[in-house]
Amino acid sequence: MATHGATGVERLVRAALLPVCAASGIVVVSGFFFPWIVGSVVTGRGWLVVALLFFGSGLAYLALLPLDALAGDEDARPGAPYLLRVRHVSPRDWASGFLARQDPITFGVPVLVLAAFFAARLLAPGATTAAVAVVDGVLFDDFAPLFLGAMFLAVLYALFLLVGPWGAIKLGGPDAEPTYTYPTYFAMVFTAGIAAGVVFWGPAESLFHYGSPPPGTGVAPRSDAAVVVALSYALFHWGVSAWSAYLVVGLPIAYFTYRHGAPLRVSTILTPFLGVEGLDGYAAKLVDVLAVFATIGGVATSVAIVGRQFLAGVAFQWGVSFGGVGALLFVAGLVVIYSISAESGVQRGIRRIAGVNLLLFALLSMLLVAVGPRGFVLDAGVDAVGRYATEFVAMSLSPGGDWAADWTVWNWSWWFSWAPFAGLFLAALSKGRRVRTVVFTGVVATSAASVCWHLLLGGTALSLQHSGRVDALAAVAAGGGSEAVAGFPVFAALPLSRLLMFLFLALIVVFIVTSADTSTLVVSILATERGHAPTTGSIVFWGVLQGLVAVAVLLVGGGESLQTAAVATGGPFAVLSLVSLYGLTRTFRRHERGHPTVLDRAAVVLAATPLGRFVPSDDGDHRER
């Protein structure tokens, strides 16, 4: 049987990666658990190189395995999402016709904008920072009601789809079948959309709210009541609201792609207004340009931020410091890993690494349950979930002044700015699924995983901070206010601290890879001429460009400015989400009548039970049907 990924070059690469992974793994594991063995052999930047070799070679080997190399690989079917396929070409053909295959607008404009931004940052850093600050102030202060209202409406719409008649619509038609099993589907949706932000902010956000509670809550900093408030706001910022932003962009793309033949583009949300033929116009191109810029800017700054966290962890574990060379090494290693994963395709690298990611995520969570302060986490978690549920409307709609602008509004804009690539990926994976399943997966299941993580890791950090066993806030202050260091003193104070630290660093790498490989693939699709699959050269180009932007952020500076500029695209996409919901609702009402609601289905199930043979009559007596 022929296998995808069985070329001679890939076989040679896999043959080289396996011994590298094994050798570097022995050194890394020894360095973590038996430091006296290799402590005198590997020092300084060597630890970073060895760690990257271990994680990178292992993930790259997994991505390059042929499709039939794993027993029972039922997801590796030829019918994988055709809209996400990559056209594999040899290195000698990468440059041949590369520009001819790119859309001149969606490819050229974002590249020019990014180049202009960094040129301005180098030539006039003060003016660039000031200009971005003005945009920041206007967007997050004056337009705060837009973000709050759009996000709240997204949650309400998701809830209606979950129980209403349109939830029964099957994407792709009645005969369409899902490409992937449900666990694989969930793993890819969750890991692509959350990135390493959940690892970065998991121990940090609750601590920040604990030290400086939101105004208007009436609780004193670092008090017992502040623990519950801090946890509830962390859940709020990473719960159903956040994931609803992806849904309201992704579901319209999926519906119009699979039911009306529209292309897999972010601009497909405009189908009800422009028609499928009108999606080649300038209005649609503008939407796709914004999507590309938001994705590259957002993911690249995330790579830079996570790079700082990984370097902080290596420095904490082995007591070494890194300059610009360390940052370059880390980003270069990541570029290689996620570019290989993206080029190998959804069925190979992206799917498999997402599975590894979810397993590590579950393993670290279970270890936290086993060794963490379970009683404190359970008590505080129950109170926080209760407060999150009862205060949800108030938290969602309260402007809240500067604090809400810095936290809630900024977070909503950040989630909306990631919605183009995460929503498009959700759409591409959802063929054969019912709308109700897409909503449940994209909002309910994913937010449940996020909430559990913040309860476990945030609750553990708060317990140790509140009891005085660890002063993580002091460690953050000593690190110049960087949130990157918050988790490491927390893990150091727990049993099995070395294992926890090892898994945490592994999660940092794997989480950012699962988002960066997806974003690289999505941007390559958006930048390629309609009707053509992106080639290997496109994947390499956009993967390297994301890495260059991340390096520029780390070395040249302007990370906060670029992040703000990328997040600012959340404003247009918040507006576009409202437009897309209006267009989707109008289309549903015209073309999707007669679908059953959840109550209708429950009634059918009830009628099939023995109890369903009896129904109440008008006079109150129960008579058999």
* Nearest Cα residue to 397 out of 411, 409, 410, 379: 409
List residues bridging with 528 in a β-sheet. 102
* Nearest Cα residue to 329 out of 545, 557, 51: 51
Q: Which residue has the tokens 């033949």?
A: 261
DSSP one-letter string for 287-305: HHHHHHHHHHHHHHHHHHH
Main-chain phi, psi angles of 398, to 5 degrees: -80, 120
Q: Can you read off the two tokens belonging to residue 527?
A: 């930048």
Report residue 1's pLDDT band, with 50, 70 and 90 as the boundaries. very low
Radius of gyration of the chain (CA): 25
pLDDT in tens, 58-94: 999 999 888 764 444 444 443 334 567 777 766 666 6
pLDDT mean over 340-356: 91
Is the CB of residue 3 less than 8 Å from the CB of residue 67?
A: yes
pLDDT in tens, 186-218: 999 999 888 767 888 888 899 999 999 998 888
What count of other Cβ atoms lies within 10 Å of the Cβ of residue 440? 18
Q: Between 419 and 530, name the one with better pLDDT.
A: 419
Per-residue confidence (pLDDT) for residue 616, from 0 to 100: 44
Give alpha helix (H) positions in 141-220.
144-163, 182-194, 197-201, 204-211
Question: What domains are defined for the chain?
Answer: 74-613 (1.10.4160)
Any idea which of 77-81, 263-267, 375-379, 494-498 has the lowest mean pLDDT? 77-81
Q: Which helix (H) or strand (E) holds 622?
A: strand 622-624
* Nearest Cα residue to 569 out of 299, 339, 196: 299
pLDDT in tens, 396-408: 998 767 888 889 9
Which residues lie closer than 8 Å to 491 by C-beta, 6 or more apart?
A: 497, 500, 501, 504
Q: Can you read off the two tokens belonging to residue 71?
A: 């027993």
What is the distance between the alpha carbons of residues 334 and 59, in angstroms, rounded to a whole number?
11
pLDDT in tens, 366-392: 999 999 999 999 999 999 999 999 999
Buried b (16+ CB within 10 A) or exposed e, 170-191: bbbeeeeebbbeeebbbbbbbb
Give alpha helix (H) positions in 239-281.
240-260, 271-274
* Alpha-carbon distances of 424 from 58, 233, 244, 301, 340, rounded to whole Å: 28, 28, 14, 20, 21
Mean pLDDT of the residues in the chain? 84
Is the CB of residue 106 less than 8 Å from the CB of residue 292?
A: yes
> How far apart are the two ends of the chain, measured CA to CA in Å?
57
What does DSSP assign to residue 624? E
pLDDT at residue 334 is higher than 80: yes
Q: Can you read off the two tokens belonging to residue 580?
A: 């897309």
Which residues lie closer than 8 Å to 580 by C-beta, 6 or more apart?
A: 248, 249, 252, 269, 270
pLDDT mean over 418-429: 93
Q: Coil, helix or strand for 434?
A: strand
Per-residue confidence (pLDDT) for residue 96, from 0 to 100: 64
pLDDT at residue 2 is higher than 70: no
Q: How many CA atoms are closer than 13 Å to the CA of 231, on its beta-carbon side?
A: 32
Report residue 273's pLDDT band, with 50, 70 and 90 as the boundaries. very high
Report residue 562's pLDDT band, with 50, 70 and 90 as the boundaries. low
pTM value is: 0.89
> Residue 296, Cα to own-chain centre: how many angstroms?
13
What is the distance between the alpha carbons of residues 83 and 429, in angstroms, rounded to a whole number?
9
What is the distance between the alpha carbons of residues 513 and 50, in angstroms, rounded to a whole number?
18
Per-residue confidence (pLDDT) for residue 315, from 0 to 100: 76
pLDDT mean over 596-614: 64
pLDDT at residue 479 is higher than 80: no
pLDDT at residue 619 is higher than 70: no
Per-residue confidence (pLDDT) for residue 76, from 0 to 100: 41
Is the CB of residue 334 less than 8 Å from the CB of residue 513?
A: yes
Which residues lie closer than 8 Å to 233 by C-beta, 6 or more apart?
A: 205, 209, 214, 395, 407
Helices (H) and strands (E) in the chain, counts: 29, 2
Q: Between 360 and 601, name the one with better pLDDT.
A: 360
What is the distance between the alpha carbons of residues 450 and 240, in angstroms, rounded to a whole number?
9
pLDDT mean over 497-519: 89
What is the distance between the alpha carbons of residues 528 and 548, in angstroms, rounded to a whole number?
20
What does DSSP assign to residue 614? E
